[in-house]
Chain A
Amino acid sequence: MYREMMRIRILENRISEEFVHQEMRTPLHSSVGQEAVAVGVCMNLNQDDVIYSNHRGHGHYIAKGGNMGRLVAELYNKSGGCSRGWGGSMHIMDVGAGVGLTSSIVGGSVPIATGCAMGLKIKKKPNVAVAFLGDGASEEGNVYESICFAKVRKLPIVYVCENNKYAMYTAMEKREPSEHIADKFRSILHTEIIDGNDVEEVYTVMEKAVAKARHDGEPSFVECKTYRLSNHYEASYSEDFWYRPKEEWEEWKKRCPIEQIKEKILSENAENTEKLEEIERLVRKEVADAFSFAGNSPYPDRKELYSI
């Protein structure tokens, strides 16, 4: 779990560092701070299970086993990119790893994920679909429609809501009738409200939700309380503290999902320090390799524009 979260953290941080060179010409939404959700969810999934995610999708893609080099190449608009240079950061996919193409229309991939679950069911496959969505996305009508449909048709799907309290720069209180997103869906399907920064909690709750979906066709809605420590996206006007209080950010920084699990691992056995350092070293190497892969990949042939 630690390794998987570090893969996301170190990758996202490197992306933010490299962003200043303006060579990744695509809107980049970092998921730093939310790694526990991606990892806790995806560790319950098989390769043939399918996830659908959103504009903030790098973490989900990596956690589900998407190829890192091809992701970075996609951010650099290269032909070796996972969407061959057509998708950019907001439209990433890895069919072999069960990562469905992400949508940048907020809430937009939720019906697609629901249809995927329907396809899995009709084709009698033993797989489940997971739809990742934000707190903002939960305000879209498509989400309500999809969830009702999944319940009626008994689809093998779990809706995972990452409630990071903000939709761009607008806080929950200005948009939501209740402090919990799940309250809106409680009367429709099974809901859970959990600490999305505790990767073990995410893992255990999801284990049950995935099993319900897989074996009983019983969909669930899991609200994970979390926080993005990064900006909404990489842009100069996205600077942190004009739309959210610094104290709030600091509070959540103390609850960083990676620091939490690290502390726990070390408290169990102080000798684990070396192991963790080794993991970090290997992850840094993997990320560096992904950037070299992207660097070596050519831009697509311009004539490819007409080839699809």
Chain B
Amino acid sequence: MIREEADFILPENAYGEEAAYTEILNDTLCQMMDADESVILFGEGINDKVALFGVTTGLAGKYGEERVFDVPLSESALMGIAAGAALEGLRPVFFHNRPDFILLAMDQFANHATKYRYMSGGIHRVPMVIWAAIGKGWGAAAQHSQSLQSVFAHFPGCKVVMPTTPFDGKGLLVSALMDEMPVVILEHRELLRKSGVVPKELYRIGMGKGVLRRKGDDFTVVADSVMVDEAMKAAGILEDKGISVDVIDIRSIKPWDKEIVLRSVKKTGRLLVADTAWHMCNFGAEVIATVYEEAFSHMRAPAIRVDYPDIAVPAGWTLEEEFYTGYGKIVEKIMESVKI
């Protein structure tokens, strides 16, 4: 049986032993593959020694190469192959080392996988998962560190999630594997280094459900991916300055939890969105536009975005440091805003 997130209200450490995020994902995949024969996994390097940071270690040995297999460097066709297999009743998970590589497959993602449900008049379902881990730092540079959530989220017919904790990583992976639409899971390499304690049994987290990570009255901060940790750090600093902050980990970009954001903004009247994406047309803009559409009268100050400048990510660490914004910028912007 698959339980719901809300079934677990115990403190984290009540669940058992601490494990690495990647081990937890590996274990979740095993549980899902045991539960559902139609789940298959493939991706470049899935069975090599690195095995996608350990997420897929040992799975080919356990389930055979028919269900867990390495593939040629053909991102584009493989996206369509996943969709075709999904239409035949399988549940493929297509792993990518980084989201940057999915750009090669955008035709099969945007024109095919997400469209077949519509073009068939609702007869077809395309249950597939596209997994990738965002890179950052160590000179990853312009083509190895892109956060593309708003690109994927633009297309009708898919879902996009960005888990930030092992607990959410497991629950969202389970939900993704039970969904009827293509689901893009964007993990982050920095977050994959975490470890945590999660329930052994399977549970799912509703798609489009954010979570309040910290409670406050003065400011609402909505964040995704690594920006959640930055926001939490910023909230700690702001607390010392007498400003208390609601930190919302949005977890799911499409669909996204409008209610949790509106509820908070109606209380605080102030909003900052911290998004790991470029400024132009990003998810932060979507959140702010929606708040202005639906809760304008509650706003007491202009909304703020903390995100990446409209510049490609540089390689050198000094330039990189200048490029990536984080908790410092969040604190600075909130201080400026409350002064007004």
Q: Interface stretch among A28-36, A146-154, A197-205, A287-295?
A: A146-154
* B66-87 contact mask (Cβ, 8 Å, vs A): 1 or 0: 1101011010111111111111
Interchain nearest-CB distance for B184 vs A (Å): 18
B233 within 8 A of A: no
Decide: A93 and B120 in contact? CB cutoff 8 A.
yes
Cβ contacts A to B, 17 pairs, < 8 Å: A85-B121, A86-B118, A93-B123, A101-B120, A101-B124, A108-B112, A111-B112, A112-B112, A114-B77, A115-B81, A116-B87, A119-B85, A119-B87, A122-B85, A123-B88, A146-B80, A152-B72
Decide: B87 and A86 in contact? CB cutoff 8 A.
no
B95 within 8 A of A: no
A81 within 8 A of B: yes
* A118-130 contact mask (Cβ, 8 Å, vs B): 1 or 0: 1110110000000
CA distance A26 to B72 in the complex (A): 37
By beta carbon, the residue of chain A nearest B113 is A112
B28 within 8 A of A: no
Smallest CB-CB A-B distances: 6 pairs: A115-B84, A111-B80, A119-B88, A84-B121, A145-B77, A145-B74
CA distance A23 to B86 in the complex (A): 35
CA distance A105 to B111 in the complex (A): 8
CA distance A254 to B278 in the complex (A): 60
- Residues A115 and B111 in contact in the complex (CB < 8 Å), given A84-B123, A149-B71, A308-B117: no
B40 within 8 A of A: yes
A142 within 8 A of B: yes
CA distance A145 to B74 in the complex (A): 6
Cβ–Cβ < 8 Å partners of A95 in chain B: 123
Q: Identify the interface centre among B83, B84, B92, B124: most chain A CB within 10 Å of its CB.
A: B84
A149: contacting residue among B66, B77, B111, CB under 8 A: B77
CA distance A145 to B108 in the complex (A): 13
A27 within 8 A of B: no
B122 within 8 A of A: yes
Cβ–Cβ < 8 Å partners of A191 in chain B: none
Cβ–Cβ < 8 Å partners of A148 in chain B: 72, 74
CA distance A123 to B111 in the complex (A): 26
* A149-162 contact mask (Cβ, 8 Å, vs B): 1 or 0: 10011000000000
Cβ–Cβ < 8 Å partners of B119 in chain A: 83, 86-87, 91, 101
- Residues A119 and B122 in contact in the complex (CB < 8 Å), given A111-B76, A114-B77, A145-B76: no
A236 within 8 A of B: no
A100 within 8 A of B: yes
- Residues A103 and B111 in contact in the complex (CB < 8 Å), given A122-B40, A123-B89: yes
- Residues A145 and B40 in contact in the complex (CB < 8 Å), given A81-B121, A118-B85: no
- Residues A111 and B85 in contact in the complex (CB < 8 Å), given A83-B119, A122-B67: no
Cβ–Cβ < 8 Å partners of A146 in chain B: 74, 77, 80-81
Known contacts A95-B123, A108-B111; 5 additional CB pairs below 8 A are A91-B120, A109-B112, A111-B78, A111-B80, A122-B85
B12 within 8 A of A: no
B90 within 8 A of A: yes
Cβ–Cβ < 8 Å partners of A87 in chain B: 119-121
CA distance A141 to B71 in the complex (A): 16
Counting chain A residues whose Cβ lies within 8 A of the other chain, the interface size class is: 35 or more
Residue positions of A touching B, CB distance < 8 A: 50, 52, 81, 83-87, 91, 93, 95, 100-101, 103, 105, 108-120, 122-123, 141-142, 145-146, 148-149, 152-153, 307-308
CA distance A108 to B80 in the complex (A): 8
Interchain nearest-CB distance for B237 vs A (Å): 45
Q: Identify the interface centre among B67, B71, B120: most chain A CB within 10 Å of its CB.
A: B120
Cβ–Cβ < 8 Å partners of B81 in chain A: 111-112, 114-115, 118, 146, 149
- Residues A119 and B120 in contact in the complex (CB < 8 Å), given A111-B76, A145-B77: no
Decide: B90 and A142 in contact? CB cutoff 8 A.
no
B308 within 8 A of A: no
By beta carbon, the residue of chain A nearest B84 is A115
Cβ–Cβ < 8 Å partners of A52 in chain B: 84
CA distance A111 to B120 in the complex (A): 18
Which residues in window 188-243 of B have CB below 8 A to A? Answer: none
Interchain nearest-CB distance for B182 vs A (Å): 13
Cβ–Cβ < 8 Å partners of A100 in chain B: 84, 87
- Residues A105 and B122 in contact in the complex (CB < 8 Å), given A111-B80, A122-B85: no
CA distance A83 to B88 in the complex (A): 18
B108: contacting residue among A111, A113, A123, A152, CB under 8 A: A111
CA distance A93 to B118 in the complex (A): 12
By beta carbon, the residue of chain B nearest A94 is B123
Decide: A114 and B66 in contact? CB cutoff 8 A.
no
Decide: B84 and A83 in contact? CB cutoff 8 A.
no
Cβ–Cβ < 8 Å partners of B82 in chain A: 115
By beta carbon, the residue of chain B nearest A52 is B84
B256 within 8 A of A: no
- Residues A112 and B121 in contact in the complex (CB < 8 Å), given A100-B87, A142-B108: no
Interchain nearest-CB distance for A307 vs B (Å): 7
B116 within 8 A of A: yes
